Each structure stands twice: as structure tokens, then as C-alpha cells.
Amino acid sequence: MAGVTDKPFRQLCRRLGAALAVSEMVAADTSLWGTRKSIRRLDHEGEEGPIAVQLLGSDPEMMARAAAFNASLGAQIIDINMGCPAKKVCRKAAGSALLDDEGRVREILRAVVAAVDVPVTLKIRTGRDPANRNGARIARIAERSGIQALTVHGRTRACGFSGEAEYDTIRAIKQSVSIPVIANGDIDTPEKARHVLALTGADALMIGRAARGRPWIFRDIAHFLQTGRSRPEPDPSWVVDILLDHLGRLYDFYGENQGVRIARKHITWFSKRHPEAAQFRSIINRTDSAKQQLQHVRNFFLGLQAKEELAA
């Protein structure tokens, strides 16, 4: 997820039970790679494998070159983005706009598969719009082009992020290919995870937004699927240890100035379910030093812990 799954967040999710954490999308156009932002996106130093890098683009040759370059930097899986509905991406006929052009899909997939020795995977939506759910056709093209796993977000390009994800098309896609299919979209609890697995017959699940501020969801889902029992909500004192550690890693990765700013959204996600979150957020948004940020976070969560213990 762009703006979310940087290296510190991928590592956090992996520590808390995610089997795989894919990079933020990287533009295949290497002329955009000089910026500090893209250099950071290419950094996998110290990351536990398999290292999966997602590429975004529309030109088969450019995609192939970018894939080979990332593989030479250590990518162990190349994932191709044909799911992003953002206007600035679709205007360049990349992301989910490619679902309209099955010939181009085939060319890109074949070029990338031929360019690298590592597995190539694909992320798609269910189709262009609800009247044109061509996901199963794209899936068959992917399979024939050498794609080794397919993730399907249960919305069409036209749906953006509105409405609810639907899983019938994911089920139809799963039935139409023999490569592993990963179901995605609106999975936010262990119960929903079980439901989507049962409904789609998918081989695995991908979780996006529900991991923001709740990265232990991976561990909770795995536990529920294995035992049929839910884990209790973690204590604020456990959560704050996770968050403080994550903030430290953000400061190290981005430097204090930028790290403090990037940390704000994570603090907001971690605290949003709690009463007084809005007031806390406004304090955090006015805090510029790492030391003060850590102090505010510690006070907020330890205050919650004290309240919970009093109420118990």
C-alpha cells in the first residue's frame, strides 16, 4: 500500500504474523527513481524474505527492465500492479486501467516473466466495472503467461473504494485457474477472514487497511483459523510497546524530522478506536520532536491501561 507499507511497516507486519508483506508500488519508469522517496522504496536492507516488490507501469519493456533491476537488488518476488484505480495512474494506462486492454496485459506479463528468474505475481481487481467483470479472463491470461499467483481485490476499477467488496467473482476466478489465488478486500476480522476463505476457496488472504493501527490482525487471523477461538484484545500496555518500537524504527529509517511526521498517521491509526482519540491526535499533530512524540504516546496508552485496570 502506497504511503503505508514502507520497510518499517512491512517488518512490523511480518513480526506480527503476516506471511508476506509487499512493497509500496514502485514506478517502472526509472527516470522517476532519483528521488529520496523512490530510493527508500527500493531499500530492503535487513528485511526478512521473501522480499516482494510491486511494479506499476504500462510499457512492457520498461516493466521488464524495472523487474530485472529490482531482482538484481534482491527482490525475490516481482508483483505487478493492475489494481490501482487512482486517476493519475489510470490516465497513464497503468494500474487497473490495464484491465481494459487484455492484449497489453499479456505483453506486460510475458515480458516481465521472461526478464527475471524469480516468481512474478499479479494483483488485479475483478474487472473494469460491474457490467464488465473480466477478471477470470485476465486470470487465464496471467496463468498462461507464467504468473505464479494472483491477488484479486473484490471491487471493479469503476468502484474505486466505494461499496462493499464482493467475493463471488473471486470465487469464479479461483475456479478458472490452477495458480494460487489470494482474496482481498474488506477483510477486517478473523471471522470475516474465515468467511471469505470459505466463500471463495482462495488459497490465501491479503489484508490492507485493517492492518493500519492493528498489525497484529495477521496473528489473530492465523490463530482463529487454526483454533476457532479469538484472541483477547491486546492490553494498551502491550500495544504501546509495539507502537513505541515502531516509532523508533521510523525515526531511524526516515531521520527525526520526516520520521516524526510519518509517525503521526501511525499514531492516529493505533489510537483511533479509543475515546479521546481526536484530542490526542491534535496534540500529536502539533508535536515536532521525537522525544515529545514518544512521551505523548506513552502517556496516552498508559493512561488507557490505568483506566482499564480501574474498571476491571
Ligand X SMILES: Cc1cc2nc3c(=O)[nH]c(=O)nc-3n(C[C@H](O)[C@H](O)[C@H](O)COP(=O)(O)O)c2cc1C
List the catalytic residues.
84
Q: Which stretch binds ligand X (CB under 6 A): 12-20, 76-84, 139-147, 220-228?
A: 76-84
Q: What is the phi/psi pair of residue 59, to 5°?
A: -100, 120
Minimum distance from CB of 306 to ligand X (Å)? 33
> Does the protein bind ligand X through residue 272 (CB under 6 A)?
no
x-marked contacts with ligand X along 228-257 as a string, rule CB under 6 A: ------------------------------
How many residues in the shown chain lie near ligand X by CB under 6 A?
Answer: 20
> Does the protein bind ligand X through residue 266 (CB under 6 A)?
no
x-marked contacts with ligand X along 169-208 as a string, rule CB under 6 A: ---------------xxxx-------------------xx
Nearer to ligand X, 225 or 306 (CB): 225
> Does the protein bind ligand X through residue 2 (CB under 6 A)?
yes
> Does the protein bind ligand X through residue 4 (CB under 6 A)?
yes
Enumerate residues 83-142 that contact ligand X by CB under 6 A. Answer: 83-84, 123
> Does the protein bind ligand X through residue 25 (CB under 6 A)?
yes
- Residue facing ligand X at closest CB distance: 208
Nearer to ligand X, 208 or 248 (CB): 208
Interacting residue ranges for ligand X, rule: CB under 6 A: 1-4, 24-25, 54, 81, 83-84, 123, 153, 184-187, 207-210
